[in-house]
Amino acid sequence: MKWLLKRLLAGVAAVLVVLVGAGALLAYQYSGTPEGWAVSQGADAAWVGSWEDTGALEELLDTGAVSTLYVYAGEVGADGGVERAPDTGALLSWLDANHPEVAALAWLRHVESGSSLIRDRFDAEAREALAPRVAEVGADGFAGVHLEVRPVTVNDPSLPALVELVREELGEDPVLSVQAQHVELMPGGRVPAFVTGGEEKYWSKGYLERVTEHADEVVLPGVGADMPTAGLYGGFMVRQVTESVAALRHHEDVAVRFGVPTYASERWGPVNGNETALTALAAVRLGLSQAEGVPESMTPGVALYLVDEAEEGDLTAYRTAWLNPLEQGG
């Protein structure tokens, strides 16, 4: 019994050491002054969950800095089926008439609880059924697809296999965008999170590179960090940028975007008051400045999650902290 207790205490102590180290790292990284070039490159994006009111969407698109929209197009079942969202054609027609330069991608989601450590997220039969359905949705007036599948455990072979199949079904011209999970803050850091959280929250850099090998665009989430303070959330986002740039450095001609929280409904994720658009945007600028050389083949940007729930303060933060920060003295 004593032996078992010692082992348990040692395990808890190891987890605490990792957490304390990660906290110190994040606090340090969310500091300093970003470089002047770390601003919008005119290749930003936004998720769109509802199009009954296009007011905030039009205000965002009028900035001219958003090139891509992830339009909610349906839910993906574990068996490879797709339940389509109704009336996407109405938004696509509106975009075609008012903003024809903006690419609309079909956002398809598969979100469930638990890990895929024991059972692959999609078995071979489901992957074979799903890939052509994804391509079919993407061809229905869209410029491609944005695939969100989570949570997925590191080294689950089913997700990279699915992405490769989708790429084959789509062909080379349509855009394939993949939403990743958070990158672990330090090597092995995903293990404590798995032990305490019960599901895989983080990916390693190697798995991020593997999953997105056949993608044109990669999106790192800006929500669900679960940090206890705004400063630690900022440091978390800085680290997401630097680690993602390092992981995808050799990926040719890829757009890498970082999520910016602009939602209020728990339908799309847990609401955390520490996760704000202004903090996320400041952190992305710092992260790009601290990254060891963003390669010319990589186009960085941000993606608002979600624009139809964005408030005026979120849009103001986007304009002043990301589009024109130098004019604001930032």
* Distance from C-alpha of 147 to C-alpha of 319, rounded to nearest angstrom: 27
pLDDT at 320 > cutoff 60? yes
pLDDT in tens, 231-262: 999 999 999 999 999 999 999 999 999 999 99
Find the helix or strand (DSSP H, E) in which 220 lies.
Answer: strand 217-220
Tally Cβ neighbours within 10 Å of residue 289: 18
Global pTM? Answer: 0.90
In the beta sheet, which residues pair with residue 179?
Answer: 148, 219
DSSP string, 11-23: HHHHHHHHHHHHH
Determine contact, residues 308/266, Cβ cutoff 8 Å: no
Local confidence band at 293 (pLDDT 50, 70, 90 cut-offs): confident
Domains and CATH numbers, the chain: 40-328 (3.20.20.80)
Average pLDDT, stretch 55-72? 98
Cis peptide before 100 (omega within 30 of 0): no
Task: List the end-to-end C-alpha distance of the chain, in Å, as a whole number.
Answer: 58
Q: Which of 88, 179, 200, 83 is nearest to 130 (CA)?
A: 83
Q: What is the DSSP letter of 158?
A: H
pLDDT at residue number 11:
41
9: pLDDT strictly greater than 50: no
Q: Please count the helices (runs of H) and the strands (runs of E) in the chain.
A: 10, 11
Q: How many percent of the chain have pLDDT more than 70?
A: 85
